[in-house]
Structure 1
């Protein structure tokens, strides 16, 4: 008996058959290479200027302070306006800020206060860019392809992250940080070109929110009364604050414990990128999510991070970090998919922005905290605290689920 067309397994990259989504993903992936080169350069320059893990955490946190303070408002702006036009504006702003970093670095005028100032402006732009970018995905594909599109987007972006840190490590070692900023400037042109090339007639625009009072509070209330959104959101906040602080914990680990230069940090990020791509391929083949997928992935991810923190040497750490990268994409893709599918279109911008406050804005709290932990108790502790937090975030829903099942079974017993 042969398979019929109706029973054939859908393609792992089915969403890339849609022209608009394919163009958008290509532009985003190109930009992420440049963006991660900039991230690595900023982190490395901060260590050169300060030789302080705590100040590295402060600079990293500065990028996400605007998201923490203004993220919910940014999501409301996205719900009210055209996502494509808003993204065109944010990409121009990103390009100008990257060009400013390039000029200041080239002229050797880039001090720590100036670096923090530019990073804050990048974070302010990201208040609108993050929710607009995620919301636009749902306008480029139909509901049937949305879960696949989210997974494919994560996979392509993490493939780009594989290139960015590795290239940055080589470039910084050979020529310094300035070329990294220059490449980031040019990379935004790819996003702008892809957005201009989209066919608006083939898009699925969401109904825009009409201006009214109390709309930010309405978005928060909507999440609190929607269990399908609340559980993943809580887990995202825990891991966003304490776990996703690799730009702080990994430079400390590679320099303080394994005594390497920029190439060691680049290798660590590249190892995570390899794992993220492998994890992404698994994510795009997944046909459905269950209520246990996210907690289990968080538990496994936390165990792997803890193992990397305790690795006896750099090569063992790099090998484990491959699996950490796979775990990160499994968790992040699952959380984003559940949140995107669980939110009604009129609320999607606010829901995604509140997700961003936890996942990105939480760094404002977590990065200095993790940096201080590393400075006080050693670099391994900085990574270990993230692993334990992720494991706890995954374990709690599992225990509550088991407890609830046992209670229901006890009630039904004669």
Structure 2
């Protein structure tokens, strides 16, 4: 048992990663506290306007769609540690300024809009840089373990942050929460500054130019990268809409109160956390078959959750669905990141972020319309079924053993050779 636990937390034996994980745990918890405080502030300023809340969310998300690919090029071209320090300092200043406006009673809705756009812009740079930086902290061999531990602390923060925010808002108000979030960014900055740069696993060279299209071409020419990326897009767009489907399921199908809805969300989060810890045991690059199987398992569980006749059974199935969601996401992440040439990793992970997170709001529009017209269960049924169908289609393409990119270039031989090489390396 002790050897199993040691393997699960092996990345924490590396000093740089310990510092990074500790700083991120504090910072991510602060970010989730900020999300709750910001939403509460918007509702307070607008008399519970759902439209205003939607505008804030859109402003935070729009930069991710517009700038992430460019940010991936920055991550490949410049020192990732310094980029992360700068991003966290800017985020801290923005959170501090908004907190002070709220504290002095001067905050207006347009202020929240402006700061949401600013934080979203910084996040567009920080996310792909952070994801690709993990490999520099631990190297390729421990990347699956470190990535899984990152998912674990993220899910822990997702549970703890909002709970703390709710208590602190009721005791001290939203301004205090925002100011604490500003301070929390300092934990990441301090951790990054305390790292030993000579212990980082950096590529031998950085490109003088890091064109976005070069990263796209690199992925398109790789059968073993393109297929999981396509699957990530399909599952992310239609399968990962739980912020929409779970409240509707609880309120309109099982007619529960807020506490019971919270239990459904907790069950899903607990499954996600369990999957994160499970994937810490992975060593090396997972095969495409595992990614496809994980997508099928996730889609099946989500479909069954949509069909659950009772609240209790729905909670159990959502526990499994939460497990499947993170297990699939981690398998796809490891498959893509470990197979990517380090010189292109920032741009490819930016594309991964864009495809995974960027397609979710588009799918939410469709799932929202279906749920309104056909009932809350339809959102889960469509998401789960679409995930299974997408995984099946990718499996069929994979079994054919050939994949042609637009223009008719046959990359089967090159993709197969690189896939075999990276799989052996894993």
Taking the aligned partners of 1:312 and 1:47, their CA distance within structure 2 comes to 34
| Residue equivalent to 1:337 | 334
Query: Does the residue aligned with 1:211 lie in a helix, a strand or coil?
Result: coil
Is 1:203 the equivalent of 2:200?
Answer: yes
Question: What is the match of residue 385 of structure 2?
Answer: 388
Q: TM-score, normalised by structure 1?
A: 0.83
Q: Distance in 2 between matches of 1:22 and 1:346?
A: 25
**Residue-pair matches, total:** 398
Question: What's the counterpart of residue 137 of structure 2?
Answer: 140
Using the TM superposition, name which of 283-292 and 349-358 deviates more: 283-292
* 1:299 and 2:296 aligned: yes
Match of 1:408 in 2: none
**Structure possessing the higher relative contact order (Cα contacts under 8 Å, 6 or more residues apart):** 1
Q: Residue 14 in 1 paired to residue 43 in 2?
A: no
How far off is 1:260 after superposition?
A: 5.7
Q: Describe the SS at the equivalent of 2:7.
A: coil
Alignment of 1:219 onto 2:215: yes
> Aligned with 1:11: secondary structure?
helix
- 2-side partners of 1:249 and 1:365: how far apart? 14
Please report how far the alpha carbon of residue 282 of structure 1 lies from its aligned counterpart in structure 2 after TM superposition: 1.6
Aligned equivalents of 1:188 and 1:242: distance in 2?
A: 32
Which of residues 61, 83, 86 is equivalent to 1:86? 83
- 1:297 Cα deviation (Å)? 0.9
Q: Are 1:28 and 2:24 counterparts?
A: yes
TM-score norm. by structure 2 comes to 0.81
SS of the aligned residue for 1:143 comes to coil
Contact 1:131 1:352 in 2 (8 A): yes
What is the deviation of 1:351?
0.3
1:110-189 matches, cutoff 5 A: 114-168=111-165, 180-189=177-186
Comparing 325-334 with 298-307, greater Cα deviation is found at: 298-307
Q: Residue in 1 aligned with 2:419?
A: none
> How far is the alpha carbon of 1:236 from its aligned partner?
1.3
Is the CA contact 1:65–1:364 (under 8 Å) kept in the aligned structure 2?
no
Question: Once superposed, what is the RMSD of the aligned Cα atoms?
Answer: 3.3
Q: Output the CA distance in 2 between the equivalents of 1:344 and 1:402.
A: 25
Q: Which runs of 5+ in 2 are unaligned?
A: 403-426
Judge conservation of contact 1:23–1:198 (CA < 8 Å) in 2.
yes
Q: Secondary structure at the match of 2:288?
A: coil
Find the aligned partners of 1:11 and 1:220 in 2 and give their Cα distance: 35
1:77 is matched with 74
Contact 1:254 1:264 (C-alpha < 8 Å) held by counterparts? yes
Shifted more, 285-294 versus 75-84: the winner is 285-294
Task: Note closer, same or farther for the CA distance 1:314–1:9 as it changes in structure 2 (3 Å cut).
Answer: closer
